[in-house]
Structure 1
């Protein structure tokens, strides 16, 4: 296991970045905690470590790994490790995701979604859209998503499961648990020109809720865990 500046040994940090949860802002904070050469950036098609691209010798000296991977990546890392993530109110997350994808021409699914209504996007049965129980899937690490497994993984393998709606409180807990220093930040990758939930048709909200029942339960569970950790 690594050491830095004679500091106590710390597990490799695995930041499981869920789409549209404030993760890009959190990643900018993480980047201030570790030198760039000690971080591994796993996004797009690079998140699968089971293909042998990252043998143990390539992971020596790595102190932080982040990306849109699902739970289970720790099995391919020779050093001890710990996860962190941020979860967001599932309805807010899907609404934000819709606006992000339709506005961002560089997004991989932009061409498929750009002419869809929000209801069509919310109703689409397409895993690429990340519009249905994504948070439970990523935290449980299995498909179909397994709520109880996700809860157990959070309890056993995550130092902090933050909540987007409690971003500052989550960040301070991460600082305390992980020994971070500077946690100042500017919000990054905010979705522009989106309607607030109260302005969105009820049938759209209802559709999002119906397709994210596991995420809603997991989000409420994560809220309880976070509030308990924040107690003095």
Structure 2
């Protein structure tokens, strides 16, 4: 049985186009929706679950029994990532500033709310919103992260990865905008970038991984999911797993361009097993850092391709001298 795909639908990221494409491919009756208790779009199975004790095991069992193959909605990934395999969770990202402007325009256009743009983007609910929906610590676990400005290419890569054929549709295009990104003042841009600094950094790092996914796909090489998670007792630790092969990934530690250590990512990580990240959880690696260096001086890469593994929620504490 093929496990379902979970789509974190971040507002104003081409999610409606993608969701309609999913309806077309899977069949609307096989697509479950969670847009909150008050939304008419939310499926009955989700309403019942939200009104119960929220037993994830029971929800998954009922979800599968009813034949659902796809779950979508404006929810935090954390809501379902422990129920379904993390590697089946997907999303699309958009330039953070453009997305904020687009969501503001959408709200004004559809609700008549006359809140000022500045009041809107200063509201904590809309600051770093993409990052909060995806998860600061969990985005590298996602099976796929695509990008709105490369939507067709993203869709092609996603279909290839999951062996599906969601069609390209272009829906929900606004005809007029109250605020346009290119007309923002220098002061507004500066404040937006300051408020959303975490998300801008996350967006850039996720884009690097997406670009590597394209590069490796074109070279018929395997993309590796993974990250560096901690520096402990003089060792860098993390996890890595290939999307296409079962062999353990060979990870290298580089200082500058020099390879100083390497090992296979085959250590057991209970957390990775619980998340369904592959190889039964035997995906961890641990590399000794011989020199006293800072995080900007080192990188962990996949030995066979050079693909870098991002540092996630990382606390670097240098050893005392």
* Same fold by TM-score greater than 0.5: yes
3-state DSSP of counterpart to 2:81: helix
Judge conservation of contact 2:22–2:166 (CA < 8 Å) in 1.
no
Compute the RMSD of aligned alpha carbons. Answer: 2.3
Cα gap change, 1:80 to 1:116, in 2 (>3 Å): closer
Answer 1 or 2: which has greater strand percent: 2
Aligned match of 2:83: 76
Q: Distance in 1 between matches of 2:74 and 2:166?
A: 24
Change (3 A) 1:166 1:44: same
Deviation at 1:36, TM superposition (A): 2.2
1:20 to 12, 32, 36: 12
Deviations, residues 71-110 of structure 1 (Å, cap 9, x unaligned): 1203235x886111001111001111111111102xxxx5
Most deviating of 219-228 and 53-62: 53-62
2:63 corresponds to which of 50, 59, 62: 59
1:154 aligns to what?
A: 139
Indicate yes or no: 2:174 matched with 1:190. yes
Please name the residue that 2:186 is paired with: 202
Q: Tell me, what secondary structure is at the counterpart of 1:161? A: strand
Equivalents in 2 of 1:215, 1:205: separation in Å?
Answer: 14
Q: CA deviation at 1:172?
A: 0.8
Residue 36 of structure 1, aligned match among 17, 28, 32: 28
Match of 1:104 among 110, 115, 129: 110
Does 2:196 correspond to 1:212? Answer: yes
Matched residues, number: 201
Could you say if the C-alpha distance between residues 29 and 119 of structure 1 is closer, same or farther in structure 2, counting changes exceeding 3 Å? same
Q: Which of 133, 158, 179 is the matching residue for 2:163? A: 179
Report the equivalent of 1:5.
none
Per the normalisation by structure 2, the TM-score is 0.57
For residues 140-183 of structure 1, give each alpha carbon's deviation from its aligned partner in whole angstroms, at most 9, with x where no partner exists: 1xxxxxx3x1xxx2322x22101111111111111111222252
Tell me the distance in 2 between the aligned counterparts of 1:56 and 1:97: 32
Task: Give CA-to-partner distance per residue, 1:2-44, whole Å, 9 cap, x none.
Answer: 3xxxxxxx32100000111111111111112212222211112
| Secondary structure in structure 2 of the residue aligned to 1:21 | coil
Q: 1:132 and 1:171 mapped to 2: Cα distance?
A: 27
Quick one: higher RCO (CA 8 Å, sep 6+), 1 or 2?
1
SS of the equivalent of 2:144 reads strand
TM-score by length of 1: 0.77
Give CA-to-partner distance per residue, 1:97-142, whole Å, 9 cap, x none: 111111102xxxx5xxx222212212234x2xxx2011111111xx
Against the structure 1 CA distance between its residues 80 and 70, is the aligned structure 2 distance closer, same or farther, given a 3 Å change threshold? closer
**Is contact 2:87-2:143 (8 Å) kept?**
no
**Is 1:134–2:134 an aligned residue pair?**
no
Whether the 8 Å contact between 2:131 and 2:199 is mirrored in structure 1 is yes
Q: 1:81 to 1:12 in 2, by over 3 A?
A: farther
More deviation, 115-124/84-93: 115-124
C-alpha distance in structure 2 between counterparts of 1:24 and 1:187, whole Å:
7
Quick check: 1:162–1:171 contact (8 Å CA) kept in 2?
yes
Gaps in structure 2 of 5+ consecutive residues: 219-321
Q: Is the 8 A contact 1:118 1:204 kept in 2?
A: no
